[in-house]
A and B are shown apart, each in its own frame.
Chain A
Amino acid sequence: MGGRAERIAFWGSGAIVALVIAIGLVSPLIGYDPAAAVDYEQKLLGPGAGHWLGTDAQGRDVAMRLMKGTEAFFLPGLMAAGIATMAGALLGAIAGYAEGWGRTLVVGFLQLVDTLPRLIFIILVCTILNPSITLIAGVAGVLFIPSIATVIRRKVEALGSEDYILAHVAHGFSTTRILLYHILWLQARPLLIRQATYVFGYVLFVETALSYLGDYGVQEPTPSWGNMVAQTRELGGASAWPWVFPAVAIAVTIAAFLAFGNLLARRDEEAIR
């Protein structure tokens, strides 16, 4: 990507990411009663002064539900990204640095988890256990450990024989310090940023997809971008406003998180060099 276009993409996607994070943080502080929001006299209004993004079939404000809908994926997304990044970094570092049985066990575990088709396994878990978005995010976090661990493992293997790492070893630095600070923090940070934003985007996808299906995600009347899109089933062609904005929000947010993660990581890589 060229200089100017990359800057526009970076700041554009960054602004959307910042907006989603700000809404995700502020939204829980705003009181919202989904039952009290129903007003059939205001149903299916187009965007206007009173309702910026219009209203749905029950007269509920689409903008407000869109804002409250971020709660469904924001904290779960952070949780999944945290689980996948921390465990993936740790296991990847062990697999790349350790030798013998420890390495074999970790690599075997990573390969095993990596073979499970993510969404299918999440549906299986939801069928067996009491489904909740926290459970779904937890499982998604665990299922992403191998993809993060694999890139970290390659990085650690590549850096393990570098002169400056050998110099740290010769200086008597502890293995933990070399791995956590000199390799993971100083060198592998861009990879972790990229992967963490990817996991966040995936949780947004899973949450909205399962809420769209209606069985295991967020249930009406609690808002989720997924169950807002699902209104297409009841509305038919009556009005597009209630579902077009959440559908666009899903697409734009996922694209923004992926692009921002990639571009931030690229900038960080250049800074490291």
Chain B
Amino acid sequence: MSRALRLLLAAAGRTGGALVLLMGASFVIYITIRSAPGDAIDAISPMGTPPQVKARLLAEFGLDRDPLTGYFAWLFRSARGDFGDSLVVAAGESVMAVAWPAFKITLILSGLTLLASLALALLGALVLGRPAGRQQLLTGPLYVITSAPSFVQAVLLAQGLNWTIHRYWEQLNYETPPWYPIPIYTDSLMPYVFAGLALLLGDGLFMDFFNAIRAELEGLRDAQFIAAVKAKGARTWGHIARNMLVPLVSGYAARLPIVLGGVVIVEYIFTLEGAGYLLLEASRERDFPVVVGISVLFTATVIGSTLIADVLRTLVDPREVARGG
């Protein structure tokens, strides 16, 4: 069998597995909806929902059928991107029309933050090299600072900035600078930059990445095949870079759920109109179709990122294909 065909088969196998997982996860979400106490339709609709809207919700979520039939009816609708209409946050609009633009913001913010974290961690690992005594003066405090949850980082950033601007800037009779993120009812990109900074500094993300990358680099530098390359007088960086691709891609995918967890609250703090902010608003208003739609989008993203990482790993690492993908 040719390598291309084996790669294709491996990718197809992994995609199939990811689809099965997505179905399973959507089933867990569906069963959670059905486990609402009392009459499920009352639990999932806001106070004062008209009876005809309740009847529509009942049909949309398949709550008028047995769990399995109801699930498949809901699944088929959801698979077409039809999560119903929003009840409160954008009453009458389709959930996807509301959730997708917000989700794109969240995805870009999370993706770029993670990329920045990866780049900084890689740079730090390359500059610092092997762990040494004096480095702990830097890495120790950094560990404590970056262990704080991203929402605490966001609060500290926002308050620190607030205090600095009001004390040192406005008291000198300057106007509030246009990049100032609080309040953020502007078209400025700065609130997103601050949100990204809070995410980058929080939830232990950076140090976790840094330690993992440094360990991988150390392992590679000590590897016998690198010693052999050196003995031949050839350059080792090409080999190290190629072998680092796998852990970097896997590490990126593995840490995406951490960022997606943090982004929900950070978006709320900086009032960014992303999916996290929308999720919290919808949850507060009991706009159930929106809550479920966004939850499914987040879950699909986690599964999708793992799938992409798996497929890339298969492309980069020939051993994966030999193992059967």
Contacts and interface: CB of A to CB of B under 8 A. Distances in A.
A216 to B, nearest CB: 8
B296 to A, nearest CB: 10
A229 B25 CA distance: 34
Contact of A255 (B147, B163, B264, B292): B147
Nearest to B20: A108
A237 B204 contact: no
Interface string A187-226: 0000000000000000001001100110100000000000
Nearest to B288: A127
A213 B269 CA distance: 9
Given A116-B28, A251-B148, A123 B280 contact: yes
A123 B257 CA distance: 15
A117 B256 CA distance: 10
Contact of A125 (B24, B32, B204): B32
A117 B151 contact: no
A254 B28 contact: no
Interface stretch (A1-9, A47-55, A162-170): A1-9
B159 to A, nearest CB: 6
A125 to B, nearest CB: 6
Nearest to B43: A128
Interface string B191-216: 00000000000011000000000000
A170 to B, nearest CB: 31
B110 to A, nearest CB: 11
Interface string A233-269: 0001100100100010011101100110000000000
Contacts of A112: 21, 24-25, 28
Interface in A122-167: 123-130
Contact residues on A (Cβ < 8 Å of other chain), bracket: 35 or more
Interface-centre pick from B131, B140, B152, B257 (highest chain A CB count, 10 A):
B152
Interface-centre pick from A118, A126, A128 (highest chain B CB count, 10 A):
A128
Interface stretch (B33-41, B118-126, B231-239, B316-324): B33-41
**Interface of A (DSSP majority class):** helix
A32 interface: no
Contact of B149 (A1, A205, A259): A205
B155 interface: yes
B283 A121 contact: no
B32 A209 contact: no
B35 A129 contact: yes
Contacts of A121: 29, 32, 295
Interface-centre pick from B148, B162, B279, B286 (highest chain A CB count, 10 A):
B148
A58 interface: no
6 contacts: A111-B24, A112-B28, A120-B279, A128-B44, A237-B159, A255-B148
